Amino acid sequence: MNARECDVLIVGLGPGGGAAAAAAAAAGLSVIAIERKREIGVPVQCAEFIPLPLSRHAMAPGVLAQRISGMTSVLPSGTAVDTPFSGLMVDRAAFDRELAGAAAAEGATVHAATSLVALDADAGMARLRGPAGESTLHYRVLIAADGPHSTVARLLGLPPLQTVNTRQYTVPLLQPFADTDIWLSPDYPGGYAWLFPKGDRANLGLGMDLEAGGDMKMLLDRLHRELVVEERVGADILTRTGGAIPVGGLRDPLLAGSVLFVGDAAGLTHPVTGAGIAAAVASGEAAAAAARSWISGDAAALETYAEDMVDQFGEALARAVRRRAELMRIRNTPAFVNDAAHRRSWIAFDEYYRAALST
Ligand SMILES: Cc1cc2nc3c(=O)[nH]c(=O)nc-3n(C[C@H](O)[C@H](O)[C@H](O)COP(=O)(O)OP(=O)(O)OC[C@H]3O[C@@H](n4cnc5c(N)ncnc54)[C@H](O)[C@@H]3O)c2cc1C
């Protein structure tokens, strides 16, 4: 098979695409994986927390930054509640680079600075633009791992996913600690603010629904100033980033012909917490396995992938969508400032997992 054809084309080399590329190549498929950024993983658009089951991807030198053991959730009244919360802080650029490197080591052809620009899905044909110009590639399965504003979805005429915006500063951390701090506030409708420690620095960020109003820069600067006054962080802003987070739940459909959506492109990110790395890796690996089975003759394998994703993630995502909607429904009422409403809408509290009162 020459370079103009492959079994699997993977668009996007974030965690979803990297995991898919490594798994598909390891399963013996010919894989071409493209990433439009010049350098995989850069710029980082992430708070860089991963749950413990992803530890195996954090073992390479330069990936693991520190361990996390708890979460402090600060309610609108100022009450702070500590809960256990285990995970790792990583260097996300190194994390993504390691996954892409593992894919290349398994035999995948990896192209950075290369974008998908056109698609004829019926013919299994993709038009790519890279440093050497444009080229056409024939594929059997396409894995769309191209993030919250998926180009593949747009080229297929599928609707965009609902997203919230985020803004994040990396700041010096003056007092090392091992908890993630979360602020729930009526000032951040449809989102929250966070401080995630990473050794001698921390990621201080804010995500919210801009349609509900609010000035993210002003709000993040205000929180930053408060933490400087408390002598928790330094006044310098070492890096600035941001990005979109899907908050509408699973894309429907997850499958279009022989195109499978994974990770953020599939809407697998948790609409309340914004966490999506673990789901991106899991769905990328599952999509690769489905591609392998389908190419080996299992005609139902791609549909089975979509069903498996619904089984695995559907209920948790649907609950998160409901909890967000419940909170947003009351945002113009006095109840919106009450701790009770925010406890019901945040994963650290038992109320979040209880059956809905009215829905
Ligand atoms: C500020 C912020 C903080 C976050 N913090 C966390 C966190 O702490 N923990 C967590 O679990 N999740 C976090 N998330 C969510 C997490 O980053 C995503 O869920 C995760 O990156 C999804 O991985 P993915 O591979 O699906 O997509 P992405 O990581 O978005 O990767 C998609 C890739 O596709 C590429 N691409 C797009 N279009 C094309 C094209 N046409 N051609 C070629 N390549 C293309 C993009 O350049 C990109 O590299 C955060 C998100 C944001 C915005």
239-291 pLDDT, tens digit per residue, is 999 999 999 999 999 999 999 999 999 999 999 999 999 999 999 999 999 99
pLDDT(102) > 80? yes
pLDDT(236) > 50? yes
Integer angstrom CA distances of residue 80 from 24, 71, 183, 274: 45, 10, 9, 21
**Ligand 1, from 71, 245, 268, 270: best to mutate by most atoms within 8 Å of Cβ?**
245
Query: Residue for token digits 């408060």?
Result: 226
Q: How far apart are CA 36 and CA 129, in angstroms?
A: 9
What residue spans of 175-234 are helical by DSSP H? 216-229
Q: How far is the CA of 359 from the centre of ligand 1 (A)?
A: 32
Domain interval for residue 279: 5-320
Stated pTM of the model: 0.97
For the Cβ of 271 lying below 6 angstroms from any atom of ligand 1, the answer is no
For the Cβ of 97 lying below 6 angstroms from any atom of ligand 1, the answer is no
CB atoms within 10 A of CB 172: 14
Query: Residue for token digits 């500590």?
Result: 82
Do residues 127 and 118 lie in contact, with contact meaning Cβ atoms separated by under 8 Å? yes
Do residues 206 and 168 lie in contact, with contact meaning Cβ atoms separated by under 8 Å? yes
Q: Counting runs of H as helices and runs of E as strands, what totals does the chain give?
A: 8, 16
For the Cβ of 73 lying below 6 angstroms from any atom of ligand 1, the answer is no
pLDDT(312) > 90? yes
Q: How far is the CA of 240 from the centre of ligand 1 (A)?
A: 16
Q: How far apart are CA 206 and CA 217, in angstroms?
A: 9
Amino acid letter, 184: L
Do residues 284 and 302 lie in contact, with contact meaning Cβ atoms separated by under 8 Å? no
pLDDT(86) > 90? yes
- The answer to whether residue 130 is domain-embedded is yes
- The answer to whether residue 356 is domain-embedded is no
Do residues 143 and 8 lie in contact, with contact meaning Cβ atoms separated by under 8 Å? yes
Tell me what pLDDT residue 356 has: 59
DSSP for 47-80, please give it: --EEEGGGGGGG-STTTEEEEEEEEEEEPTTS-E
Buried residues in 243-261 as b, exposed as e (16+ CB within 10 A): bbbbbbbbbeebbbebbbb
* Residue 16's CATH number: 3.50.50.60
For the Cβ of 282 lying below 6 angstroms from any atom of ligand 1, the answer is no
Under DSSP, the state recorded for 173 is B
Nearest CA to ligand 1 atom 16: 276
Do residues 320 and 192 lie in contact, with contact meaning Cβ atoms separated by under 8 Å? no
Amino acid letter, 169: Y
Q: Which distant-in-sequence residues (6+ apart) come within 8 Å of 246 by Cβ?
A: 148, 161, 162, 163, 264, 267, 268, 269, 271, 276
- The answer to whether residue 350 is domain-embedded is no
Nearest CA to ligand 1 atom 31: 14
For the Cβ of 277 lying below 6 angstroms from any atom of ligand 1, the answer is yes
Mean pLDDT of the chain: 96
Q: How far apart are CA 253 and CA 54, in angstroms?
A: 27
- Backbone phi, psi, residue 13, to 5°: -120, 50
Ligand 1 nearest-atom number relative to CA 263: 26
Specify the number of domains making up the chain.
Answer: 1
Q: How far apart are CA 192 and CA 161, in angstroms?
A: 20
- The answer to whether residue 330 is domain-embedded is no
Ligand 1 nearest-atom number relative to CA 243: 53
- The answer to whether residue 258 is domain-embedded is yes
Q: How far is the CA of 339 from the centre of ligand 1 (A)?
A: 31
- The answer to whether residue 205 is domain-embedded is yes
Q: How far is the CA of 211 from the centre of ligand 1 (A)?
A: 22
Q: Which distant-in-sequence residues (6+ apart) come within 8 Å of 8 by Cβ?
A: 20, 21, 24, 29, 30, 31, 32, 139, 140, 141, 142, 143, 288, 291
- The answer to whether residue 155 is domain-embedded is yes
Q: What is the 3-state secondary structure (H, E, C) of 281-294?
A: HHHHHHHHHHHHHH
The band of 185, judged by pLDDT with boundaries at 50, 70 and 90, is very high
Share of the chain above pLDDT 90, in %: 95
Average pLDDT estimate for 118-135: 96
Q: How far is the CA of 293 from the centre of ligand 1 (A)?
A: 27
- The answer to whether residue 354 is domain-embedded is no
pLDDT(194) > 70? yes
